[in-house]
Amino acid sequence: MGFEPINERICKIHLKGKYHNITLINIHAPTEEKDDDVKEQFYAEPQQVQEKVPKHDLLIILGDCNAKIGREKAYQKVTSKHTLHDTTNGNGELVCEYATVNDKVVASTFFQPKKIHKGTWVSPDNLTLNQLTMSW
């Protein structure tokens, strides 16, 4: 039904569904090394896009959040135990805060993949294994 590029990091796709229309907001968040101001400004943008989505649409936010989601009790409302990491990094905290405020969940932590599939990205040094946090 429509495609709207918001900026170089966010786009919105509106699809016609059989029972409900579907809105996908695709994001590519700044990396952990970026300034906090840049990251906070980034997370304000999908919030503004989300607020314009019709309430009856199925809304899925997906993409690369550059986040590590851990197993801390503070985030158990929006995450599950199926995460690769023990500790949440700064970007992960932003993802969890966004999910909490918007009554969403970090869906990639709710499904138990086989161990060989849990890590979805390996650093160039072949030492660090990460799990992409993809949809909420």
Burial 23-33 (b: 16+ CB within 10 A, else e): bbbbbebbeee
pLDDT in tens, 116-131: 555 666 667 776 666 6
In a domain, 46, yes or no: yes
Instruction: Report if pTM > 0.85.
Output: no
For residue 3, what are its two tokens?
Answer: 């495609």
In a domain, 12, yes or no: yes
In a domain, 135, yes or no: no
Residue 100 φ/ψ, nearest 5 degrees: -60, -50
In a domain, 64, yes or no: yes
Residue 39: which CATH number? 3.60.10.10
In a domain, 136, yes or no: no
In a domain, 102, yes or no: yes
pLDDT in tens, 27-85: 999 999 999 999 999 999 999 999 999 999 999 999 888 888 888 988 888 988 877 77
Which of 73, 55, 132, 67 lies closest to 98, judged by CA?
67
More confident residue, 132 or 92: 92
In a domain, 114, yes or no: yes
What's the domain count of the chain?
1
pLDDT in tens, 55-65: 999 999 998 88
Range(s) of the domain holding residue 38 = 2-130
Q: Mean pLDDT across the stretch 3-11?
A: 96
Which of 133, 135, 16 lies closest to 66, judged by CA?
133
In a domain, 35, yes or no: yes
Q: What is the pLDDT of residue 86?
A: 83
